[in-house]
Copies of this chain bind each other. A is one copy, B any other.
Amino acid sequence: MARVHNFNPGPAALPAPVLEDVQAELMDYAGYGLSVMEMSHRAPSFMEIYERTEATLRELLHIPDAYDVLFLSGGATLEFAALAMNLMRTGRAGYVVSGHFSKVAMNEGAKYGEALCLATGEDTDFSAIPAKADIDAQVAREAAAGGLDYVHICQNNTIYGTMYQALPDTGDVPLVADVSSCFLSLPLDVERYGVIYAGAQKNAGPAGVTVVICRHDLIADGPALGITPAYLDWRSQAMKQSMLNTPNTFGIYVCGKVFEWVKEMGGLEAMEARNRKKASMLYDVIDHSELFCGVARPADRSIANVTFTTNTPELDREFVSEAAKAGLVGLGGHRLVGGMRASIYNAVPKTSVERLCGLMREFEELHAGTSATE
């Protein structure tokens, strides 16, 4: 069968040239006579892969030397605990709740210290990112009142389809961001952050790899808490090039291939332009539709996850089902929101988005007059 149009939220579409390369090298990597999966992580053949992977990522994101880059596992969920264990030195941190995962992160942080909710989008059902002015003011207030070890945000909210358009100003308080679903979708100004982390399974590679980019001075003294598992000790992992124990070697190798593909495609500036174009095609259909409407507040719309609905659950299901029949998969919205979600990460080509736009128009024509807003 031909490859489908893949709108999965993660694990998600990977670039076809990357998969073709991986396939070609699967039994014998670069003439070494074995698969990357069969190599010792300490062998020069793998260390070369690891170092090239890190170097390409550093190049793409212009990561300064003052930052360590780690390739770990356990996803953002495990890092929710790790960041508190590593950074909660005074035992007080601030969280902006802009969706499900940022709330989970806050609840996880509360196991290890005081996890303050600085602002929440709960009153809008997370269709909007809390206002920057409110966040900034609250950070300043709490930093002055009792100090903050860090301020945590989830920069793109996969489930709701919202994204920060501007970062909070946190002054001297390190900004920590879960960027899982917008990592490599656009450039990031790394120096604005203390820590950036991301599950790879959206834009960076297969599931099973977590990228952590951490300003070294924040971890130079080791983890804040003595109960930190060795595996989650960012300083130790940085000293050992993520090889305190055997890492997900194959996953890191595929990430490296994806990074090289991004570079060949023109880097993150080119990715952002492509992603904005794809997103605007979809938002344009939504904004001109009498059947479909967007879930996220227009000012906070994500360029990675486009959420929309007909406001009729039966019709939503019909659309997702019709789309699947036409070879467009992964369009069902998250159970917390319902409706539809098109995840249009880097590896989703414009042609797939065109096909989806076409299908939405056809579906609307077919169901003219059944809009729930009538």
Residues of A within 8 A of B (CB): 1-4, 6, 8-14, 16, 19-20, 22-23, 26-28, 31-35, 37-41, 43, 72-78, 80-82, 104, 108, 111-112, 199, 201, 206-209, 226-232, 244-251, 254, 327, 329-330
Contact = CB atoms under 8 A, between A and B. Distances in A.
B9 A40 contact: yes
A10 B74 contact: no
A10 B243 CA distance: 13
Contacts of A33: 1-4, 327, 329
A130 B35 CA distance: 37
A247 B208 CA distance: 6
* Identical copies of this chain, number: 2
A13 B39 CA distance: 8
Given A247-B208, A250-B208, A231 B31 contact: no
Contacts of A209: 208
A347 to B, nearest CB: 8
B3 A37 contact: no
B11 A32 contact: no
A247 to B, nearest CB: 7
A352 to B, nearest CB: 12
Contacts of A75: 231, 245-246
A22 B36 CA distance: 13
A207 B41 contact: yes
Given A19-B27, A77-B244, A250 B249 contact: no
5 contacts: A12-B38, A74-B245, A208-B247, A208-B250, A251-B251
A39 B23 contact: no
B251 A208 contact: yes
Contact of A37 (B81, B206, B226): B206
Nearest to A33: B4
Nearest to A246: B207
A20 B35 CA distance: 11
A16 to B, nearest CB: 8
The 4 closest A-B pairs by CB, nearest first: A208-B248, A81-B229, A4-B33, A77-B245
Given A229-B80, A231-B74, A246 B3 contact: no
